[in-house]
């Protein structure tokens, strides 16, 4: 455990105030958690974030990478390789939780609320076939995309992607993602918050694009369902 003496207003080795910048102040609670509870905090945050919680991993591992240098707090409190290992394994555990929720509850949700969310078991069967063809690349690439990486496990579970393949791809993708963030934070040192800002800048358009795609998909599905209902109405006459 890392002693909780490092607060958002601590002084860096170069004399600058660690609390400078709006990004640092905004995420000071998460930083304080990591400072106070060390590797345990990394385990918790990586698991929760990968289980679909909106926790910015660029803050968690960017800061953890910087915390592995003497530039922050005057001493290296973490080992960079341990940060990467913990982040990868924690991401795997959180992803498995989300996957199992999707796999267990997916068809139950369709049974209860399928008509409201415009989904049927036929759609789930189609999703399974799609994941058989493109699931591997979707999970692998999704693990290194902001926002997508936290959500990809649920549809993979709903589509009943093979567990072994899902876990291997999750480990590979998570290792790349955590290594990238932690290494950038390590290289940036006391300027690690710029890494977080850059990833936030990329995340905003990613969210917008995903939201538009979801709206477009639901609109197409809505039109398809209405067309099918109209066709059945004609045959009923």
Task: Tell me whether residue 185 is in a domain.
Answer: yes
Question: Which tokens go with 164?
Answer: 């072994």
Q: What is the CA radius of gyration of the chain?
A: 21
Burial of 41 (0-12, 13-18, 19+ CB in 10 A): buried
Task: Tell me whether residue 44 is in a domain.
Answer: yes
Task: Tell me whether residue 118 is in a domain.
Answer: yes
- With contact defined as beta carbons under 8 Å apart, do 126 and 70 qualify? no
Question: Which tokens go with 82?
Answer: 């341990």
Task: Tell me whether residue 201 is in a domain.
Answer: yes
Of 123, 120, 104, 103, the residue nearest 112 (C-alpha) = 120
CA distance 19 to 139: 36
Task: Tell me whether residue 194 is in a domain.
Answer: yes
Question: What pLDDT score was predicted for residue 230?
Answer: 58
Print the domain residue range for 168.
Answer: 22-225
Q: How does DSSP assign 141-183, residue by residue?
A: HHTTSTTHHHHTHHHHHHTT--HHHHHHHHHHHHHHHHHHHHH
CA distance 156 to 100: 9
Task: Tell me whether residue 36 is in a domain.
Answer: yes
User: How many independent structural domains does the chain possess?
Assistant: 1
Task: Tell me whether residue 235 is in a domain.
Answer: no
Query: What is the value of pTM for the model shown?
Result: 0.71
Question: What pLDDT score was predicted for residue 207?
Answer: 67
Question: What pLDDT score was predicted for residue 52?
Answer: 79
Adjacent-strand bridge partners of 21: none
All residues at 6 or more sequence positions from 94 whose CB lies less than 8 Å from its CB, including other chains: 46, 47, 48, 49, 50, 51, 153
List the chain pLDDT tens, one digit each, 237 residues: 444 434 444 444 444 444 444 444 556 777 888 888 899 999 999 999 888 777 878 888 888 888 898 777 677 789 999 999 999 999 999 999 999 998 888 777 766 665 555 566 666 666 677 777 777 888 888 888 777 777 888 888 888 888 999 999 999 999 999 999 999 888 887 777 777 677 666 666 766 776 676 677 666 666 665 665 556 555 555
Task: Tell me whether residue 160 is in a domain.
Answer: yes
């Amino acid at each position: 455990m890392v002693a909780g003496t490092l607060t958002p207003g601590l002084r860096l080795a170069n004399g600058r105030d660690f609390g400078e910048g709006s990004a640092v102040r905004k995420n000071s609670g998460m930083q304080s958690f990591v400072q106070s509870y060390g590797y345990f905090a990394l385990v918790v945050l990586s698991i929760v974030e990968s289980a679909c919680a909106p926790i910015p991993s660029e803050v968690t591992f960017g800061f953890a990478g910087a915390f592995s240098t003497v530039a922050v707090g005057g001493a290296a409190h973490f080992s960079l390789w341990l940060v990467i290992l913990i982040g990868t394994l924690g991401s795997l555990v959180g992803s498995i939780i989300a996957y199992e929720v999707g796999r267990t509850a997916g068809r139950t949700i369709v049974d209860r609320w399928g008509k409201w969310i415009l989904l049927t078991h036929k759609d789930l069967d189609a999703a399974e076939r799609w994941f058989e063809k493109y699931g591997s690349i979707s999970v692998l690439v999704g693990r290194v995309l902001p926002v997508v990486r936290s959500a990809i496990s649920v549809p993979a579970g709903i589509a009943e992607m093979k567990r072994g393949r899902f876990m291997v791809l999750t480990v590979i993708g998570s290792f790349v993602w955590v290594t990238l963030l932690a290494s950038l934070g390590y290289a940036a040192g006391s300027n690690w918050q710029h890494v977080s800002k850059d990833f936030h800048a990329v995340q905003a358009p990613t969210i917008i694009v995903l939201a538009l795609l979801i709206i477009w998909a639901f609109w197409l599905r809505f039109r398809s369902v209405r067309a099918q209902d109209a066709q059945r109405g004609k045959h009923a006459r």
